[in-house]
Amino acid sequence: MEVILKKDVPNLGNAHEMLTVKNGYGRNYLIPKGLAVLATPSQKKMHAETQKQRAFKEEKIKKEAETLAKAIDGITVKIGAKAAATGKIFGSVNNIQVADAIRDQFGYEIDRKKIHVDGEAIKETGAYQAQIKLHKEVTATVNFEVFAE
């Protein structure tokens, strides 16, 4: 079954891609959840036209993402957290705190959903890395240091 994705679907594809999926997956999951539409001949024509129009905009967005990636790639962000004497944090540090720290310390507004902290949640003080997926082809790495307040 051919479908056109309306939204990004993890481990499948990005929005506005035309894919072939198994019939049950498309009919029972993707289409009812509003993640995709069936690729009929008329939908394919509309898809081709929108792809032409979107190509110019996509290039502009990619260039902006690349400039932002160059600016933030390799920066070190300091995040303060309440911690015990052993270095164990009360609570955890996740992508929300990383996004807030980047905004506060460097002024770059990054969506928290685009930040992937290695190892889910951080529960001890130390130095860590986070991957930021700014575009489907552009990824930046940010170092962050968690210290006890």
69-148 CATH pick, 3.10.430.100, 3.30.1320.10, 3.40.718.10, 3.30.200.20: 3.10.430.100
Q: Helix or strand or coil: residue 35?
A: coil
- DSSP code at position 88: E
User: Which pLDDT score, from 0 to 100, does residue 24 have?
Assistant: 96
Q: How far apart are CA 51 and CA 63, in angstroms?
A: 18
Q: What's the whole-model pTM score?
A: 0.65
Task: Tell me which residues of the chain have a pLDDT lower than 70.
Answer: 120
Q: How far apart are CA 4 and CA 34, in angstroms?
A: 11
- Please name the residues in contact with 135: beta carbons below 8 A apart, sequence gap of 6 or more: 61, 62, 65, 66
Tens digit of each residue's pLDDT (9 = 90 or more) over 1-27? 999 999 999 899 988 899 999 999 999
Helix (H) or strand (E) holding 7: none
φ, ψ dihedrals at 23, nearest 5°:
-55, -45
Fold of the domain spanning 2-62: Ribosomal Protein L9; domain 1 (3.40.5)
Instruction: Give me the residue spans of the domains in the chain.
Output: 2-62, 69-148
The two structure tokens encoding residue 1 = 């079954």
Residue type, 107: G
Determine how many CB atoms are found less than 10 A away from the CB of residue 16. 15
